[in-house]
Amino acid sequence: MHSAHTWPISANMLSFGNRAPDGGHIKDAPAAVWASQLRQVRELGFDYIDPTDAWVPLAALSDARVDEFGTVLSDEGLAISSVSMTRNSVVDVEHGEQNLADAHRLIDLAPTFGATIVNTGFMQAITPAQSEQIWFWLVEGHVDDPALRELAIERVRELGDHARSNGIQLSLEMYEDTFIGTPDEAVQFISDVDHDAVGLNPDLGNLIRLHRPMPHFTEMFAKVLPYSNFWHIKNYSRDHDPATGAYSSAPLPLKYGYINYRQMIRLALDLGYSGPFCCEHYGSDSLGVCAENREYILQVLTSALA
């Protein structure tokens, strides 16, 4: 069990995107470009990052470039607590087998960086209609095919076996309209997988932002936190006008959004949560908001663990 000040709280590197200044992919950029972005994170007080594959896909790097990445990371005074796969489902009809292979490579790479979690899920690429919106979640995206559920369970178990053999854990990110798109579906899926190295990422921000009916956040967290081993943590405003049926939502710092994270983090600790936190935010100065969120989490942990 960590103390408040040693608890891994990382910045998700998603906000930097995957384009280098020269227009090429960030994975092919000189190490100095990685260093410049990592330095911004370190200057905001982070000790950890999550190098999501929506930024630098470690699984796609050669061994030499992985070593180069590790050197830059160390030079900038940062460590990795988790590695997230983003929109690369292992049951994607077209790319599922490659995504599965990438997940295995990440499970091999993660412990070499000191990471304890590889995070994946069943969300898939944003659709053209979603990409035209201010916020992509305003339009329905990919919906999982129930016929692929057994394959999903089989591949998650395979990854769980690999993770356990490497002394780490696999976490499955909750996301709407996937096999783990509601708390009940997530608990059922994780129960069907039935693997001691596989847990949930209770990223209920992904659900709270949706313009559709939703149970209260306390009800949802109570169901999934007992199975959680990692946490993409973010918050949103949420409003519903019963007279018109209209919903509204927008990203907000943890402290100000609809979800009361002081309550939910304390509940998680009471239920035995011991995994890393990974700060996420969309819009505005995402990285700056993540830094504020790290300080908020630290304060809540300090109070809860006193």
| pLDDT, tens digit only, all 306 positions of the chain | 799 999 999 999 999 999 999 999 999 999 999 999 999 999 999 999 999 999 999 999 999 999 999 999 999 999 999 999 999 999 999 999 999 999 999 999 999 999 999 999 999 999 999 999 999 999 999 999 999 999 999 999 999 999 999 999 999 999 999 999 999 999 999 999 999 999 999 999 999 999 999 999 999 999 999 999 999 999 999 999 999 999 999 999 999 999 999 999 999 999 999 999 999 999 999 999 999 999 999 999 999 999
CATH class of 9-305: alpha beta
Q: Which amino acid is at 50?
A: D
Q: How many CA atoms lie within 13 A of 176 on its CB side?
A: 18
C-alpha–C-alpha distance, residues 140 and 136, integer Å: 8
Dihedral (CA of 22, 23, 29, 33) sign? positive
Residues 9 and 298 sit within 8 Å (Cβ to Cβ): yes
Q: Does pTM top 0.95 for this prediction?
A: yes
Q: Report domain extents, the chain.
A: 9-305
17: its two tokens:
């995107």
